[in-house]
Structure 1
Amino acid sequence: MTNNLSEYALCLDPDARQGVSHAWCMTCGMRSQEAEDGPAVKHWCLGHAEETGHKRFRAVATTFLMVGPAPGRTTRR
């Protein structure tokens, strides 16, 4: 591993889905499906709360990253 991290940059992975999120009910452990649409996860939480009375959720948003050459660098060493 190099000590010169300025040779690299962290960026969004163009080949991966972006903005994937899901939520867990903290009361019963049920989990929403993953969705690229944030409002779909919020809608699941609201629907689950209405059906069960459960009110605590854990939401997770995932972003996929990749490391590439820093600006001005074209090849990896």
Structure 2
Amino acid sequence: MAHRHQIHDSRRFLYDLHTQDCYSNPGILGGNPVFMGTRVPMKTVLDCIEAGDWLNEFLDHFPSVSRDRAISVLAMIRSPHNNI
């Protein structure tokens, strides 16, 4: 399970992240980063993991997010280049 400071740093990182997997638009959820093509906030996957849920549980609750997209975003967050 991730440590709280890692989750906090990951959330801060999400606000600077714009890729093929996620984006931020002031007109969508107040500019909170969302998974591309959805209105699912990126922080939701972090909330689920922090609560001890598995990725499959997140995907069951948010079927508009593909497994590949969720894994890609989590891999970017964990990347050693992000200093998280």
TM-score, normalised by the number of residues in structure 2:
0.29
Higher strand share: 1
Larger relative contact order (C-alpha < 8 A, sep ≥ 6)?
Answer: 1
Which protein shows a greater Rg?
Answer: 1
Output the TM-score relative to the length of structure 1: 0.30
